[in-house]
Amino acid sequence: MSRIDLNKNWDYSEALEGTNHIRLKEKYNLFIDGVFVEPASKHYFKTTNPATGEVISKIAEAGKIDVDLAVKSARKAFKSWSKLNPKERGKYIFRIARMIQEKAKEFAVIESMDGGKPIRESRDIDIPLAANHFFYYAGWADKLEYAFSHQTPKPLGVAGQIIPWNFPLLMAAWKIAPALACGNTIVLKPAETTSLTCLKLAEVIEESGLPKGVVNIVTGAGETGSEIVAHPNIDKIAFTGSTAVGKLIQETIAGTDKRSTLELGGKGANIIFEDAALDQAVEGIINAIFFNQGHVCCAGSRLFVQENISEVVIEKLKDRMSSLVLGNPLDKNTDIGAINSREQLKTIKDYIKLGKKEGGKIYQSECEIPAKGNWCPPTLFLNVSQSSRIVQEEIFGPVLSIQTFRTMEEVIEKANNTPFGLSAGVWTEKGSKIFKLTKELNAGVVWANTYNKFDATSPFGGFKESGIGREGGLHGLKAYLKFDS
């Protein structure tokens, strides 16, 4: 196979995104009842840039008293928001969508600074998709009876929403937009390491004139989340995060009237058949596992290649990995940004050690690692088995495990041999193989000849330990409604 040495022959000049246009406060308060207020404890924690270790801002830590205030405010606001003419509700949501678009560049830069993801991803994926969710659900606000005909849809009440650090603004949009469209009010908590774009969203919400208390944003760590989960005056918990915390939430709300949707972890199978367009498939493998440094619940972290093409696919993959640019998330050349936190970097490193100990053969691209910040080079493991822990457990980093298969039956069995059931990818020229696999793979989302494609109109969610319920599309609306008939 002829090779192009991209690293030797191509030299990229830096193409840094500007930061002059962003406005950040030194300190952020809680957004409760339409205004920014200090936390009862007066405690603030630092949020840092994972690519440099620099402190960006300080964030208020909400405790029991603050969560209670936020819930009271949401409960009060529910009385009028749920009765507001749905067309008017739609207008507010539409306005928020427009304002996110207007401030897209600021949101994108802050998302990359706070979370470590490459600017190309936050600019082209996170922020446009977040606006897209608000636009989409704005359209449904006055059409709920058509969405669910012969039923009388009613809002649930106050929704407690807890989101993770991998797609902060996008996850906030996934949760806030459908809840508002259905007439619910909200108490939302972003993840401790990535609160900034949610707080900027709070500024947008304030500026949009949305009635006070309809959306409340409380910041803090896991304890703040558990105060929301345990609060007796919350009607629904919408959670995205780890399976472990998802289980804790289920235990806490068991025996109560609270509803829940849980979007949890995954260990997606990406399956390449011998008849696939190999160069496209290799791009698909790269995107599936290295997008957002692998901090993606639906990442294609288990690669299955048909045995007779495995050598060529692995060679092509190694070649392509060696051309990935790792570094400053604000550089438009960057493919692989910073790992979100030191804790997550340690988790990934521990898994890499474990993979070697289990007998896996490691390959890492030889990219230069910046002196400061949290970094992990794109990594793959060969010689792994179905029982390897790095094959079974979610690593949530840029680490791919590769196995081969001979027959369709074998790969279906192997792909389904995991406690998770969130996502999968299939690469083949044959429609019949695609239909068989989409039917037999135990995954909430199956992509064919593509990977990691998201759309507001499409439901997303998993089976088994990947969670309960769906977000997006009409399914996402239904999760915020109750029906009389």
Nearer of residues 15 and 244 to ligand NDP, judged by Cβ: 244
Among candidate residues 111, 263, 465, 471, the one labeled active-site is 263
CB of 358 to ligand NDP, least distance (A): 19
Site for ligand NDP (CB under 6 A): which residue of 128, 222, 370, 377?
Answer: 222
Stretch that binds ligand NDP, among 19-27, 128-136, 162-170, 305-313 (CB under 6 A): 162-170
Least gap, CB of 158 to ligand NDP (angstroms): 16
In the set 61, 114, 126, 394, which binds ligand NDP (CB under 6 A)? Answer: 394
Q: Output 60 or 144, the one with its CB closest to ligand NDP.
A: 60
Minimum distance between the CB of residue 394 and ligand NDP, rounded to whole angstroms?
Answer: 4
**Residue 111 designated active-site:** no
Kindly state whether residue 213 participates in binding ligand NDP, applying the rule CB under 6 A: no
If one asks whether residue 189 binds ligand NDP (CB under 6 A), the answer comes out as: yes
264 binds ligand NDP (CB under 6 A): yes
Q: Does residue 49 interact with ligand NDP by CB under 6 A? A: no
138: amino acid identity, one letter: A
**Segment interacting with ligand NDP (CB under 6 A) among 33-41, 156-164, 403-411, 447-455:** 156-164
* 44 near ligand NDP, rule: CB under 6 A: no
Residue type at 337 in one-letter notation: G
* Interacting residue with ligand NDP among 52, 112, 166, 379 (CB under 6 A): 166
Report, in Å, the least distance between residue 206 CB and ligand NDP.
22
Residue 355 Cβ, how far from ligand NDP at the closest point, in Å?
16
Q: Which of residues 112-151 bind ligand NDP (CB under 6 A)?
A: none
d(CA 75, CA 33): 10
> What span, in angstroms and rounded, lies between the C-alpha atoms of 116 and 331?
11
Q: Rounded to whole angstroms, how far apart are CA atoms 162 and 226?
A: 9
298 as an active site residue: the answer is no
- CB atoms inside a 10 Å sphere around CB 6: 13
Rank residues 219 and 428 by Cβ distance to ligand NDP and give the closer one. 219
Apex CA 126: angle with CA 124 and CA 131, to 5°? 95
Point out the catalytic residue in the list 182, 198, 297, 367: 297
Contacts of residue 380, defined as CB under 8 A and 6 or more positions apart, other chains included, come to 303, 317, 318, 321, 362, 363, 364, 399, 400, 401, 402
Q: Rank residues 155 and 241 by Cβ distance to ligand NDP and give the closer one.
A: 241
Instruction: Please report how close the Cβ of residue 396 comes to ligand NDP at its closest, in angstroms.
Output: 3
Give the residues across from 424 on adjacent strands.
269, 446
Closest distance between ligand NDP and the C-beta of residue 249, in Å?
Answer: 6
The window from 123-131, 146-154, 177-185, 219-227 that contacts ligand NDP (CB under 6 A) reads 219-227
Residue 223-252 contact track with ligand NDP, rule CB under 6 A, x = bound: --xx--x----------xxx--x--x----
**Residue 222: alpha-carbon gap to chain centroid:** 17
**How many other CB atoms are there within 10 angstroms of residue 42's CB atom?**
8
List the one residue from 192, 235, 335, 465 that touches ligand NDP (CB under 6 A). Answer: 192
Interface of this chain with ligand NDP, residues 349 to 388, rule: CB under 6 A: none
Among 162, 170, 321, 399, binds ligand NDP (CB under 6 A): 162
Binding ligand NDP (rule: CB under 6 A), the pick from 44, 396, 451, 460 is 396
Q: How far is the CB of 326 from ligand NDP (least distance, A)?
A: 20
Least distance between ligand NDP and beta carbon 223 (Å): 7
For ligand NDP, which is the closer residue by CB, 64 or 143?
64
Tokens matching residue 286:
């790269």
The span from the CA of 4 to the CA of 299, in Å, is 27
Does residue number 297 form part of the binding site for ligand NDP (CB under 6 A)? Answer: yes
CB-based closest residue to ligand NDP: 225
Least Cα distance to 271 among 467, 402, 143 occurs for 402
Q: Is residue 106 a contact point for ligand NDP (CB under 6 A)?
A: no
Pick between residue 163 and residue 481 the one whose CB is nearest to ligand NDP: 163
Contacts with ligand NDP by CB under 6 A lie at 162-166, 189, 191-192, 221-222, 225-226, 229, 240-242, 245, 248, 263-265, 297, 394, 396
Catalytic residue list: 263, 297
